[in-house]
Structure 1
């Protein structure tokens, strides 16, 4: 009897201990995920608000052109920049976990340099947007308006390069609450400016794009000021070290860029396929609306992407494989539960949400036809970004890049082309292909995550942090030898 009582007491203690661990880990996750979700939602909404003003107060051709440029060209370039900035998540997260605080500011400055010059190299894509779109078979009138929109989009692109890096720097330290306030302020200003410039003063397309540029740059100014004034441990001012030993940063950023941009480009290629179908204007508008609705829910999943990358990187840098694995489980279950709720909501709303963006009944009906697949996308998107965040936190970007190539480009796109074009299911077939590729990718990431030797990942993370620390120390002392460059 006494043994049963003792066993029951131990089980109760384990249950209470588990409950406490779940609660503590959930708090750590939401400290990062909460502000990240709101900020990403705000940024994404800035683009959507602009699209809504163009759709309701400018014209259908401009709406189609805006959708085409933002979902193809801008997403293509944003994918590169977001991916390259994710290298900073690995480096800053693991360095902060290892308490190498002085390294974070140098990493941030190096990332600024790399992303700034990358953006400069990508500018020709904006300048020659019209002939590029025409070469891909888009209608001439849509391509010409797209060229104008692309020139306006240069400002937001530079804003994204600054935003991605600053947010990553703050998230690694769980100091990203400030970005929530800045995002809320800039979103409110963007709505006001959009109404003033597009409706009140009737500047049309130019007014809508001008408000977009201002809405994306305002929070960046606040983030930079906060970093320089409120992060004394991790920001020591501008350093000449930022310009030294850049090549390893470029390589790390490149592998990260390949991983994430392959995911972002995936839907962009499918939109290009949609643009070549019959009644392209309706198809493009419907696909754009579905991707935007899906994108809103994706902002939640991307918040958990950020939380997963930060928590895994912090725990690996700290040397705890046990806590890293536990964080992955809690993160994935929380994100999936939220995704399931959205799955049910959008399964029943169907085409009703499309009237936020357009009053065209043909477009609304096309959206309604995709409602089931849209809801299913939200369910899948609640898991896949978390696993991608785990890979960023652990530094597996190059491995996941190969997974993305296989799942998206050798499976998803061919399936979409066969179902959508060969079997004449149109945008529904293309969307099914996209979903199938994402499903296969999710299964592959689950296998990789569960089969990983996490104790070995701790050793790799600590070696990575130490080699950067040694290299920076040598450069600070005026040594002419770059240990990291030699090891790389």
Structure 2
């Protein structure tokens, strides 16, 4: 009788067990479905963005590759201009544009497209004025590199004329960065990707013609680079004015000047000192950090060779950073849009998917760098010493590439949430109070040379990445959504005549 009852009760218990598990199964399926959809959305945003970043970065990559085969001095000269002067200038302008990135993304999430045109014009004014202020650094490149940064004299002499011929691209950056953010905030970047790809193809052909066939050397390479950057800016401007953005672009308006003070306050972080960290520091800290690496290497013995070796490694690292910046842009768009739409749960999911995806891509790039570490340097130089030195740094380059695939995405999340100020202070502490001092200690005091400098600075990057990860995954996104709502209400407003900031 007992056995009979047990046999009859077993199916009932099994059914009850199934019903108990059913909600968990449904929750898991729903979660996986949402992750899949978020991943698709992230890739839909990131893929054209990363291609755009990669194509535009490759303009300088191709230039360095052609010039590197002219000689070791030419390679070193172009490297210090591209990786010290131009990267620093681009970082300053990119940092100033971070205010546009935050406001535009959250305005789109809140359905305030009419604000984008005014924001973009205000950003053009600020970036163009900054480009004018940065021009003397290019005019006086030789004394700055030689006397102030203590780079090798013969490298500084060759770099000076190249830097002066590269001045026009400064103003192309000032126009291009706000345009990119205008398109990215609305997830309309495929046309920009096509423009960048077409210009890159033309750049390869023109650089080959100028440097290899016509023998124009560094001057020809610089002029072709200027033409290519301005072609991108002009084509993007034509696309914006072509009628594809009737709600977001309504033509030039004097309101961009009347509200300029409020926009500057946002870029300055409401105080000059905060601006120095946020608008300059936040956007360019990462650029200047790696620029400092190249500057410190220039102080070592056999500096020209060390600069050549490091520039080869940095060019490949910067290329992976450009890919990561595509995911950074997508993460920033997703976070700002979801916060602007007051959807904190979706924001958290977007963050998790973006960081996981970037880590996976970083692992792939790291494996690629390890496998091809002896072949990659040959693109930039025919010198056996340069190729051998860069190959020896291949293992450290692989680790750096993995980290460089993650920290831009964390920065993108910060921009999307409007955390420029606290993250800037974190970056200052990790990079300049930990990374650089350790690099100097390992490289000079402990006599490990370029390897020691790089290892010390990589420690600062790891610390910054760990702190950002801890902050992001402890964030209360419900509170951030409320802050975004208040920000849009205060800075956007339903009244077209309302000031940017009350």
The TM-score, its normalising length taken from structure 1, stands at 0.95
Q: Which residue of 1 aligns with 2:172?
A: 159
- Partners of 1:339 and 1:121 in 2: how far apart? 36
Q: Which residue of 1 aligns with 2:184?
A: 171
Give the alignment's Cα RMSD to 1 decimal: 1.4
Which aligned pairs between 1:276-295 and structure 2 lie closer than 5 A? 276-295=299-318
- Partners of 2:144 and 2:218 in 1: how far apart? 21
Q: Which residue of 2 aligns with 1:132?
A: 144
Q: In the TM superposition, what whole-angstrom CA distance separates every residue of 1:270-325 from its partner, at most 9, and x where no partner exists?
A: 11111111111110011101000111111111111101111100001000111111
Q: In the TM superposition, what whole-angstrom CA distance separates every residue of 1:353-375 from its partner, at most 9, and x where no partner exists?
A: 10111011111121122111100
Q: 1:36 aligns with which of 45, 49, 72?
A: 49
Q: In the TM superposition, what whole-angstrom CA distance separates every residue of 1:15-41 from its partner, at most 9, and x where no partner exists?
A: 321222112211221122111111111
Contact 2:66/2:211 (8 A) holds in 1: yes
Q: 1:251 aligns with which of 257, 261, 265?
A: 265
Q: Which residue of 2 aligns with 1:478?
A: none
Contact 1:50/1:208 (8 A) holds in 2: yes
More divergent stretch after superposition (229-238 vs 188-197): 229-238
Q: 1:377 aligns with which of 400, 407, 428?
A: 400
Q: 1:191 aligns with which of 177, 181, 204?
A: 204
- Partners of 2:258 and 2:411 in 1: how far apart? 30
Which aligned pairs between 1:401-480 and structure 2 lie closer than 5 A? 401-470=424-493, 473-475=496-498
Contact 1:85/1:257 (8 A) holds in 2: no
1:471 shift after superposition: 8.3
- Partners of 2:142 and 2:454 in 1: how far apart? 26
- Partners of 1:9 and 1:419 in 2: how far apart? 57
Q: Which residue of 1 aligns with 2:256?
A: 242
Contact 1:102/1:235 (8 A) holds in 2: yes
Contact 1:471/1:483 (8 A) holds in 2: no
1:4 aligned to 2:2?
no
Contact 1:106/1:241 (8 A) holds in 2: yes
1:334 aligned to 2:357?
yes
- Partners of 1:44 and 1:71 in 2: how far apart? 12
1:388 shift after superposition: 0.6
Q: In the TM superposition, what whole-angstrom CA distance separates every residue of 1:57-89 from its partner, at most 9, and x where no partner exists?
A: x33212111101111111111110011112111
1:4 shift after superposition: 2.2
- Partners of 1:417 and 1:434 in 2: how far apart? 9
Q: Which residue of 2 aligns with 1:368?
A: 391
Q: Which residue of 2 aligns with 1:63?
A: 75
1:453 shift after superposition: 2.0
Q: Which residue of 2 aligns with 1:393?
A: 416
Which aligned pairs between 1:69-108 and structure 2 lie closer than 5 A? 69-108=81-120
1:205 aligned to 2:218?
yes
Q: 1:218 aligns with which of 208, 228, 231?
A: 231
Q: Which residue of 1 aligns with 2:247?
A: 233
The TM-score, its normalising length taken from structure 2, stands at 0.93
Contact 1:241/1:472 (8 A) holds in 2: no
- Partners of 1:399 and 1:252 in 2: how far apart? 14
Contact 1:258/1:398 (8 A) holds in 2: no
Q: In the TM superposition, what whole-angstrom CA distance separates every residue of 1:165-211 from its partner, at most 9, and x where no partner exists?
A: 11111111111111111111001000110111111111111111111
Contact 1:182/1:222 (8 A) holds in 2: yes
Contact 1:336/1:382 (8 A) holds in 2: yes
Report the 3-state secondary structure (helix = DSSP H, G, I; strand = E; otherwise coil) of the residue aligned with 1:308. Answer: helix
Change (3 A) 1:67 1:98: same
More divergent stretch after superposition (362-371 vs 89-98): 362-371
Which aligned pairs between 1:345-356 and structure 2 lie closer than 5 A? 345-356=368-379
- Partners of 1:472 and 1:287 in 2: how far apart? 53
Q: Which residue of 1 aligns with 2:6?
A: none
- Partners of 1:86 and 1:21 in 2: how far apart? 29
- Partners of 1:246 and 1:402 in 2: how far apart? 26
Change (3 A) 1:392 1:101: same
Q: 2:326 aligns with which of 303, 306, 315?
A: 303
